[in-house]
Chains A and B, each alone.
Chain A
Amino acid sequence: MIQQYANPARFNRLAETLMPWLAWPAALLIAGGLYFALFASPPDYQQGETVRIMYVHVPAAWMAMFVYTSIAIASAVGLIWKHPLAHLSAQAAAPIGACFAFLCLLTGSLWGKPMWGAWWVWDARLTSMLVLFFLYLGFMALNAAFDDPARGEKSAAVLALVGFVNVPIIKFSVDWWNTLHQPASVLKMSGPAIHASMQVPLFMMAVGFTLYFFAVLLVRMRTLMLARRVRALTMAGLRRAGGSVASEAGGVS
């Protein structure tokens, strides 16, 4: 069933059908989440108003890891089963994930300065998230580094898979090492440790960001499919031009 969406026309129709179901809920959830995050939720008893940064920092972190995981899965599918859209979806997703990783680092820094007194510390979680950001950049660079796009795709896919070990490291860093970053308060064995008044905006923003990701992913995948077609048409045009030149010269290529 997934194979049929390798056809660009079908994929475009699917993307156009899905887009309103992604874009509108994303916009509403993010708008609602922002209202709760900035106005209708309590300040933290220790951190005061800076806790509001959590409502963008944590969803950005979750998205950075989720998108990287998707890229790793897509890369594996592309390498093993060679589905035509696998590598393409990974390439489309990478800049979005890189943006989320960057936002996680930046908002974390803006939270760390007032709370910890430092813009940056080489703590396990911060460092492993920085590594994730570099992995995203490396993935994007490798894809673009070869004249033959297929070689670029393969190299980048291998990097994505090798780098995937970093994702559980980020998750468990606060358990495995002595970290300044606070330990897990949502996804832990004994259940979430944050109050509902904070859980609601946090989950609204997280789901909103996820829908935003899928919406932008579809746009970028359509763009990449068109870019492939542009290359194919340009190559065909060059071959035609080359053929007519050769026949004018009376030679044979």
Chain B
Amino acid sequence: MGGYAGFVWTAYGVVAVVMAGLLIASRRALRARQREIAALEAASPRRRARGGGGTP
């Protein structure tokens, strides 16, 4: 590459790492929040499901 290979491949490499990393981190955060929500909703009392209970 006329001696410029190091600069060009480093540039592309960092772009790939950052963009892939951002995508992966974002998806992992989403899945973590989804698991958290599932756990919280399982733990919290379902007011409507209780038959005839009083007002909350």
A216 touches B15 (CB 8 A): no
Q: Does A237 contact B (CB under 8 A)?
A: yes
B1 touches A230 (CB 8 A): no
A-B contact pairs, 10 of them (CB 8 A): A53-B7, A56-B15, A60-B15, A96-B22, A216-B26, A220-B26, A220-B29, A233-B37, A236-B44, A237-B44
- Contact for A226 among B10, B22, B23, B34, CB less than 8 A: B34
CB interface residues, A 206-225, toward B, < 8 Å: 212, 215-216, 219-220, 222-223
B7 touches A111 (CB 8 A): yes
User: Smallest CB–CB gap between B40 and chain A, Å?
Assistant: 5
- Contact for B4 among A48, A99, A106, A229, CB less than 8 A: A48
B residues in contact (CB < 8 Å) with A: 1-2, 4-5, 7-8, 10-12, 14-15, 18-19, 22-23, 26-27, 29-30, 33-34, 36-37, 40-41, 43-44
In the complex formed, the residue of A with least CB distance to B14 is A106
Q: Is the interface of A mostly helix, strand, loop or mixed?
A: helix
A52 touches B41 (CB 8 A): no
- Contact for B15 among A103, A222, A233, CB less than 8 A: A103
Q: Does A163 contact B (CB under 8 A)?
A: no
B22 touches A38 (CB 8 A): no
A222 touches B7 (CB 8 A): no
User: Smallest CB–CB gap between B23 and chain A, Å?
Assistant: 6
A230 touches B40 (CB 8 A): yes
User: Smallest CB–CB gap between B49 and chain A, Å?
Assistant: 16
